Amino acid sequence: MDYTKELSNIRNKMHCDIVQEATVRIMVSNNTTDGVISLENPIEVGGYVVQSVCCESGLLISTEDRVVRYQDLTVEHLSVLHQSFVVGKKYTFISNKQFV
């Protein structure tokens, strides 16, 4: 078994799960993807404090409103995000309509 390939598969799976949680599962439960899922407790990962995930694009958003690239995160950071967003569902959906 190629360790690098296996690690890449794990990263891809966690990334995919986070994006699916933010897009598909939010659409099914809320009938919209116009908003963000916001963590109950922001998580510091890779020098960023991740607060939310955009439900239209699946992009990670920091507390400074910067986009955090998944490829900039380690497997350990992705696993922390995966645990919070996908496994623990420790987030709240916030519709963009609330900001209008």
Backbone angles phi, psi at 39, to 5 degrees: -65, 145
What is the span of the domain harbouring residue 10? 3-99
CA distance 53 to 82: 12
pTM, full prediction: 0.84
Calculate mean pLDDT across residues 4-13. 92
Burial label for 68, CB within 10 Å (0-12, 13-18, 19+), is: buried
Span 41-70, pLDDT tens digits: 898 877 889 999 999 989 999 998 899 888
The packing angle between helices 3-20 and 75-82, to 10°, is 30
In tens, the pLDDT along 72-91 reads 888 898 999 999 999 999 99
Query: How many domains would you assign to the chain?
Result: 1
Cα–Cα distance for residue pair 46/75, rounded to 1 Å: 11
Whole-number Å distance between alpha carbons of 28 and 39 = 19
